[in-house]
Amino acid sequence: MKSSALLVLLLFLFERSEQEVDQKPQRSGGFQENEKEEQQSKDIFSYLLSELKELRDMVIEQRLGMQILRGELTEHDVLLKSTQEELKSTQEDLKSTQEELKSTQEDLKSTQEDLKSTQEELKSTQEELKSTQEELKSTQEELKSTQEELKSTQEELKSTQEELKSTQEELKSTQQQHGSELEVLRSQLSEAESRVSTMEAKLEPKVAFSVGLTDRGAMGPFNVETTLIYEKVFYNMGQGYNSVTGVFTAPVKGVYYFTFNAFKYNINTSTAIWMYHNQERLLLNRGIYSHQANYSNARIIQMEEGDVLYMRLPANYMIHDDPDNLRSLSGFLLFTL
């Protein structure tokens, strides 16, 4: 900008010097002076022309510099734009990374909560296993006591005790583990408990009987209530029924099932039958004034060891039986208590 103003000033001075040379009057006596002035003007002109060339070269050089600067500026603009885009992309990547980090932190928090829950479940399972171990220990003691009574089952019970002991050791050594190992231990424990249950089932006493009344036909009527003695013994596992007294005696404490039937043959008589548990009347079946009547009943009873069950014919009633076994009494142990 400064060089352009200087160039304009020099051009103005050059034009003015030319005008002054053209406007000078021709003097008759001053030829030499005119030549001197002309020479000075020429020198000025030459000087100005030289300055103008230098100025022109400077202007050209500055224009080239300006073009170079413009090119560099353009390159800088392109680079700046590219840098801004990269910065924008980097910011977006940073934002995405922050979101991923936030999501990862949430997943980590959720995982920590799941881990905490799993640890609590494991602790609860360990407590259950500990309780089971105590139960197994108690079961071992019961099995050991049973071994003394039943010699035929000693070897099997010993094997079961060794398996239970091995299972306890495996449970103790794997309490801190998770997943499949715990399932294996549970499976082994279930198998051991199943074996113990099987052994206990084998050790439970078997009690069952089935008897018939008589082959003599009609019985009664009697003036007093009479205990019925079932003389025909079809089956008597555990020897709980006494065919002499007609009384069944419970050999063990448990729940028993009893069933009986009765038959009335004569139209002119009535039939009835009582079921007794110890001294307590449980039920009465009765048939009145029909030619023939057949009836039955059943009862589930909890009995203590030594309790008795028997059937009685009420006074003035009759009952009938023959080789067809129309009168029968049966019972068996459902389970012990």
Please tell me the predicted confidence (pLDDT) of residue 145.
Answer: 80
pTM for the predicted model, two decimal places: 0.42
Mark whether 195 and 213 lie in a shared domain: no
Question: Looking at residues 197-214, what average pLDDT do you find?
Answer: 80
Mark whether 217 and 321 lie in a shared domain: yes
Q: For the chain, how many helices (H) and strands (E)?
A: 4, 13
Question: Of 174, 203, 232, which residue is a domain's last?
Answer: 203
Say yes or no to pLDDT of 187 above 60.
yes
Q: What six digits make up the tokens of 234?
A: 């079809």
Question: Of 151, 178, 203, which residue is a domain's last?
Answer: 203
Report CA-CA distances (Å) from 227 to 219, 247, 255, 286.
Answer: 12, 9, 23, 16
User: In terms of DSSP bridges, do strands 328-336 and 254-264 run parallel, antiparallel, or are they unpaired?
Assistant: antiparallel
Please tell me the predicted confidence (pLDDT) of residue 218.
Answer: 80
- Please tell me the distance from the alpha carbon of residue 99 to that of residue 237, in angstroms, as a whole number: 80
Please tell me the predicted confidence (pLDDT) of residue 250.
Answer: 97
What is the domain range of residue 157? 117-203
How many domains would you assign to the chain? 2
Say yes or no to pLDDT of 27 above 50.
no
- Please tell me the distance from the alpha carbon of residue 232 to that of residue 215, in angstroms, as a whole number: 8
Which of 248, 256, 253 is closest to 304 using CA atoms? 253
In a domain, 129, yes or no: yes
Mark whether 244 and 186 lie in a shared domain: no
In a domain, 313, yes or no: yes
Question: pLDDT confidence of 242, banded at 50, 70, 90?
Answer: very high
Question: Of 203, 220, 248, which residue is a domain's last?
Answer: 203
Which of 240, 233, 232 is closest to 257 using CA atoms? 240
Task: Give percent above pLDDT 70 in the chain.
Answer: 82
In a domain, 105, yes or no: no
- The H or E element containing residue 202 is helix 180-203
DSSP state letter for 315? T
Question: Looking at residues 66-79, what average pLDDT do you find?
Answer: 88
Say yes or no to pLDDT of 272 above 70.
yes
For residues 332, 240, 310, 231, the Cα torsion angle rounded to the nearest 10 degrees is: 100
Q: Identify the top-confidence range among 25-34, 37-46, 269-278.
A: 269-278
271, 289 Cβ separation under 8 angstroms:
no
Mark whether 156 and 212 lie in a shared domain: no
What burial letters (b/e) apply to 256-266, b meaning 16+ CB within 10 Å? bebebbbbbbe
State the helix-helix crossing angle for 2-23 and 31-149, rounded to 10 degrees. Answer: 170
Q: What are the backbone angles phi and psi of residue 286, rounded to the nearest 5°?
A: -145, 140
Mark whether 212 and 328 lie in a shared domain: yes
- What pLDDT, in 10s, does the model give residues 94-107? 998 899 889 889 98
Please tell me the predicted confidence (pLDDT) of residue 33.
Answer: 74
In a domain, 279, yes or no: yes
Question: Looking at residues 53-75, what average pLDDT do you find?
Answer: 87
Alpha-helical (H) ranges within 24-153 are: 31-149
Task: Tell me the residue length of the chain.
Answer: 337
Say yes or no to pLDDT of 62 above 80.
yes
Mark whether 196 and 228 lie in a shared domain: no
Say yes or no to pLDDT of 24 above 60.
no
Mark whether 197 and 213 lie in a shared domain: no
Report CA-CA distances (Å) from 38 to 17, 28, 32, 48, 108.
Answer: 10, 16, 10, 15, 100
Which of 331, 256, 259 is closest to 295 using CA atoms? 259
Please tell me the predicted confidence (pLDDT) of residue 329.
Answer: 94
